[in-house]
């Protein structure tokens, strides 16, 4: 099981040391999600990260028995001049630093946004290419901003691991939450494995979470693979209700990945294309909400059946799970564990809308431009024949601004 990688937690906050579619309560259309943090790592080759957005942490990490010494400045964490941040783990010790195990054997970098950017809820995403090799441990993760409070600390502050990889699993990554009673090796999470024996080190991939007050959904390349809610933590306290800050690091060795071996290539590089965060409008509060349209009727999954191909229809609002919709990865709208889907990804007028396995395709990528419409494949979600009759299956149609294409999303 996974173990944490914390440095001295009280010092994480010190700058000079280690340190989609929204469901809103308003009847008016929700504003589009706004970017709240963007770093595309543009700048001259060899430059350090933007100090207004990030700070370097320094030191070793006895808590996980990692082997690296995290350095400040551009020695191990620098821009490459081509729009990337490169975090490099090297087999060296130019500073003659002593680690918990003796003379340090490796250097690397770890950066965070503490005291620069924190946020509760929203869509947090990074596009990265991870290194390969036994003993490598790249991570994109978040800690609660109250971790430095002596009355809170870790794990009560909360931790959201958006992506972790250990080198002996080249085709898999993990998403995990940690809190009081479910931390360290007891963290609650799941893994995602690329199909066909592919390796994450072979190219760039996008890792994200969609975080709402009572749910967190993980995705890889737009494919949602895990959702956690308070029901998953065994009666323990859900601590994901306050701002968190972002961390990127490349660890060497440790309890979980094990140590490098003779086949581990150095230097090892974690290449980060971007980190983007948008507002909580990308995710719904709680477990979701209703979507109402013509005649005040609700968007409903027929017979509360989550089988692929089940019609999505108009129906009297009744408060059941078949009428609760939440936003997931890649613009998806989800109910009963499946996605709102345009049948056959066919953009022809009159194509029916159904429930289907979430697959990240354009047929499940719904947007709201702010005019009350909900759109996919360039068409509008439409109440067929301008009817609000119970059982009237929804379709897509050319956007006309008519009442049967206007929808209100509610918490």
Which residues are designated catalytic?
159, 164
d(CA 198, CA 276): 26
The values of phi and psi at residue 166, to 5°, are -115, 140
d(CA 377, CA 380): 8
d(CA 393, CA 411): 23
Tokens of 265: 């290539």
Pairing of strands 68-70, 106-108: parallel
Query: Alpha carbon of 313 to those of 151, 159, 348, 360: distances in Å?
Result: 50, 39, 18, 22
SS (H, E, C) the chain: CCCCCCCCHHHCCCCCCCCCCCCCCCCCCCCCCCEEEEECCCCCCCCCCCCCCCEECCECCHHHCCCEEECCHHHCEEECCCCCEEEEEECCCCCCCEECCEECCEEECEEECCCCCCECCEEEEEEEECCCCCCEEEEEEEEECCCCCCCCCCCCCCEEEEEECCCCCCCEEEEEEEECCECHHHCEEEEEECHHHCCHHHCCEEEEEEEECCEEEEEECCEEEEEECHHHCCCCCCCCCCCEEEEEEEEECCCCCCCCCCCCCCCEEEEEEEEEEECHHHCCCCCCECEECHHHCEEEEHHHCCCCCCEEEEECCCCCHHHCEEECHHHCEEECCEEEEEHHHCCCCCCEEEEECCCCCHHHCCECCCCCCCEECCEEEEEHHHCCCCCCEEEEECCCCCHHHCCEECC
């Amino acid at each position: 099981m996974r173990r944490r990688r914390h440095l001295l937690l009280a010092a994480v906050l010190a700058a000079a040391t280690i340190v989609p579619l929204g469901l809103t309560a308003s009847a008016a259309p929700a504003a589009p999600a706004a970017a709240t943090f963007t770093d595309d790592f543009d700048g001259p080759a060899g430059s350090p990260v933007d100090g207004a957005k990030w700070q370097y942490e320094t030191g070793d990490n006895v808590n996980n028995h990692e082997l690296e010494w995290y350095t400040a400045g551009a020695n191990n964490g620098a821009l490459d001049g081509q729009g990337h941040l490169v975090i490099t783990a090297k087999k060296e010790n130019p500073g003659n630093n002593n680690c918990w195990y003796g003379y340090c054997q490796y250097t690397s970098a770890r950066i965070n946004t503490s005291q620069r950017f924190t946020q509760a809820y929203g869509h947090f995403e990074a596009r990265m290419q991870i290194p390969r090799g036994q003993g490598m441990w790249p991570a994109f993760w978040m800690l609660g901003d109250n971790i430095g409070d002596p009355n809170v600390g870790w794990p009560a502050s909360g931790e959201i691991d958006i992506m972790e990889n250990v080198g002996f699993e080249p085709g898999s990554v993990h998403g995990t939450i940690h809190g009081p009673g479910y931390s360290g090796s007891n963290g609650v999470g799941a893994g995602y494995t690329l199909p066909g024996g592919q390796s994450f080190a072979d190219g760039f991939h996008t890792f994200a979470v969609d975080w709402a007050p009572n749910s967190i959904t993980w995705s890889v390349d737009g494919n949602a693979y895990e959702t956690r809610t308070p029901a998953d933590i065994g009666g323990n306290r859900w601590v994901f209700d306050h701002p968190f800050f972002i961390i990127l690091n490349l660890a060497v060795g440790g309890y979980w990945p094990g140590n490098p071996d003779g086949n581990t290539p150095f230097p090892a590089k974690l290449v980060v294309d971007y980190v983007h965060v948008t507002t909580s409008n990308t995710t719904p509060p709680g477990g979701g909400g209703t979507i109402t349209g013509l005649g005040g009727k609700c968007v409903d999954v027929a017979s509360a059946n989550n089988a692929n191909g089940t019609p999505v229809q108009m129906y009297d609002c009744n408060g059941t799970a078949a009428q609760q919709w939440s936003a997931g990865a890649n613009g998806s709208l989800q109910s009963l564990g499946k996605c709102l889907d345009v049948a056959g990804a066919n953009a022809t007028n009159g194509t029916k809308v159904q429930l289907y396995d979430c697959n990240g395709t354009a047929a499940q990528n719904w947007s709201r431009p702010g005019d009350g419409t909900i759109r996919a494949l360039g068409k509008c979600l439409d109440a067929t024949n301008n009817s609000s009759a119970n059982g009237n299956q929804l379709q897509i149609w050319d956007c006309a601004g008519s009442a049967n294409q206007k929808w209100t999303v509610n918490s």
